[in-house]
Structure 1
Amino acid sequence: MKSAKKNIRHINLSELQEYFKSIGEKPFRAKQVYEWLWLKHASSFEDMTNLSKQLRANLEEHFSLPAITVDTVQQSTDGTVKSRFRLHDGHLVEGVLIPTENRQTACVSSQVGCSLSCKFCATGYMDRKRNLDFDEIYDEVALINKQALENAGKKLTNIVYMGMGEPLLNYKNVLQSIERITSPDGLGMSPKRITVSTAGVAKMIRQLGDDKVKFNLALSLHAANDAKRSEIMPINDTNNLKVLIEALNYFYKATQNEISFEYILFKNFNDTLQDADELIRIYRQVPVDLVNIIEYNPITNARFQKPDEEVVDTFMQYLGKNRVNARLRRSRGKDIDAACGQLANK
């Protein structure tokens, strides 16, 4: 049965101050609790050691603190760390720490499962159970940040919302989590170091523009004509390329934020020079900062394969010759199913 107690992280500082006033406590206690919740990332009221036992018991009685916990951790030979997180209701999601020489990137999930059924993605074969709350997404980031500090002695430098789920179908919680992550009394991270990836929900891309968000946007493109894109991404039936191009231009005009394309290469599907030409055509219609060409990571359910190296090289050279700012993204964490498209709670 769902607890009737209010999640303490779902109330703001002034509401917390009001509560402390109502029980005859000094308002500064609210600031202390708020610091425990967001800055020090306490996972229980018991952790709040500068509060009296009585006050901790009072909070325990009136509020819930459903922090997520690390269920299992796997380390890849390339240093990538995949964590499976357990939510308060027993659901599981995955997050990944991707360390490189000058970056510590967290890849976080925004939903339990996914409703979009992209044919090449392991999460797409799972049902969507529910959205993550903003504080659960924040927990993922805080826990991965802790891993970065433990493993490399460095804090996270970047966050990508590219884990399980479609972030723009959990719009409110994703934006609220970023607000907390970038807040000085949260993790204090610059929104310019955060990228939200979408399979292409045009209406919500426009909404991001209206909301004047400060973070970057990545579109999972993966095919540059409607027939092919619909074949692998059913969302394209209702959000076709024309509609997406218009939405991305609207977003850029409103925010001037960076836009990137993600394009996974599939053998004998979207890896010819004709496909490259179609990609170039779209690239020229949107102020795209970068095209990430991604190695495909085979998954059990999908029929796709990785193209041969020569095909990849030819594709990349052709893009370069046509002045497309493209980068080949080598997969990290493949040996632990932590690479792009592989997250499925395995």
Structure 2
Amino acid sequence: MGQIKKKDIRALTREQLRDFFVSNGDKAFRGNQVYEWLWQKSAHSFEGMTNLSRETREMLQKNFVINHIKVDQMQRSADGTIKNAVRLHDDLIVESVLIPTQTRTTACVSSQVGCSLDCKFCATARLKRMRNLNPDEIYDQVVAIDNESRLYFDRPLSNIVFMGMGEPLMNYNNVLKAIDKITSPDGLGMSPKRITVSTSGVPKMIRKMADDGVKFKLAVSLHSAIEQTRTSIMPFNATFTLVDLRESLQYWYQKTKSRITYEYVVWEGINDTQKDIDALIRFCRFAPAKINIIEYNPIDDGEFQQASNTAIEKYQRSLEANNITVTVRRSRGKDIDAACGQLANKS
């Protein structure tokens, strides 16, 4: 007979853990103790659960496994950015990034191994989507970066962005479960207002988020408000059109009253004209929005080139003249391929 496959213990709720102990002739509160070890204390093994008897730890070892991530390689950029190559229990790798500034440290976390979408300018999109990350694997990335923030910058993690590998809304249930743990007093106790989920724009799931009453912030990788242009750089836009996206974002704002952030890269010869600027201004009018113009980070083949400073300044002036908040963000961690669009498991 083959060995019994052990269950991933972090897939169990607190109530299921309590029930497990009761059904094995123990007290229900043992489930609370184990739950605290798993989530608040991020235990990597049952052996480390020191307030449990040896018999209890052996029983857990016999029935369960803790599929904890391992930081396989850590790289530090000249600007202080840290990139982690994270090994999962099945030996697949994802990357996550710690971005420090004077006032905050932000974790950029992954939600999929590879990506479900096909943005031409993104290195991650060239990787086949192999699987979704489980809630605990997302949570572990945050814990690892929080530990690094405390170690290297002497302060806890302050913000989280789902802008790493993968499309978070294509792994919706697991992302929400991870955020629930991150924001719960039983987990990391972070405010949902410090979390931003960045999507390339999946209208059906944006509506679902609004209906689910989520409290975190929403960012959309827009890059063009002209249908044909956006489809040429983000081919999935042929399915999830700008019209559908706009309607879903209107719905989001009506339900949440939460301002939308648009992530926007300006490329030479692609979206650097006045026509592109005017289309973006029109797209921003249906709901309060702010624009983050992001510096482009090349991914080797030269198809996409960063637009000139003149073109970016023109965007900035035009948006501000129309009372649209705009920030130009310089990339961090370029020297270790840790910047936006560069995560591709080169390590």
TM superposition score normalised by structure 1: 0.97
Query: 1:1-346 alignment to 2 at 5 Å?
Result: 4-288=5-289, 290-301=290-301, 303-346=303-346
1:273 touches 1:318 (CA, 8 Å); kept in 2? no
Alpha-carbon offset, residue 184 of structure 1: 0.4
2:68 touches 2:89 (CA, 8 Å); kept in 1? yes
User: C-alpha separation between the residues in 1 aligned to 2:324 and 2:260?
Assistant: 14
Q: How many residues align?
A: 345
Alpha-carbon offset, residue 3 of structure 1: 7.1
User: C-alpha separation between the residues in 2 aligned to 1:276 and 1:262?
Assistant: 14
2:52 counterpart letter in structure 1? L
User: C-alpha separation between the residues in 2 aligned to 1:213 and 1:324?
Assistant: 25
1:295 counterpart letter in structure 2? E
2:84 touches 2:96 (CA, 8 Å); kept in 1? yes
1:125 counterpart letter in structure 2? R
User: C-alpha separation between the residues in 2 aligned to 1:72 and 1:104?
Assistant: 20
1:94 aligned counterpart, secondary structure: strand
2:105 touches 2:158 (CA, 8 Å); kept in 1? yes
Q: Percent of pairs identical after alignment? A: 55
2:116 touches 2:170 (CA, 8 Å); kept in 1? no
User: C-alpha separation between the residues in 2 aligned to 1:164 and 1:33?
Assistant: 31
1:71 touches 1:86 (CA, 8 Å); kept in 2? yes
1:46 aligned counterpart, secondary structure: coil
2:103 counterpart letter in structure 1? N
The 3 A distance-change label for structure 1 pair 150 and 176 is: same
Alpha-carbon offset, residue 319 of structure 1: 1.8
User: C-alpha separation between the residues in 2 aligned to 1:72 and 1:2?
Assistant: 32
1:284 aligned counterpart, secondary structure: helix
TM superposition score normalised by structure 2: 0.97
> Cα RMSD over matched residues?
1.4
2:45 touches 2:66 (CA, 8 Å); kept in 1? yes
User: C-alpha separation between the residues in 1 aligned to 2:101 and 2:344?
Assistant: 24
1:291 aligned counterpart, secondary structure: strand
2:286 aligned counterpart, secondary structure: coil
2:259 touches 2:287 (CA, 8 Å); kept in 1? no
User: C-alpha separation between the residues in 2 aligned to 1:63 and 1:138?
Assistant: 19
Q: Which moved more, 1:149-158 or 1:309-318?
A: 309-318
Q: Which moved more, 1:120-129 or 1:296-305?
A: 296-305
Q: Which moved more, 1:297-306 or 1:58-67?
A: 297-306
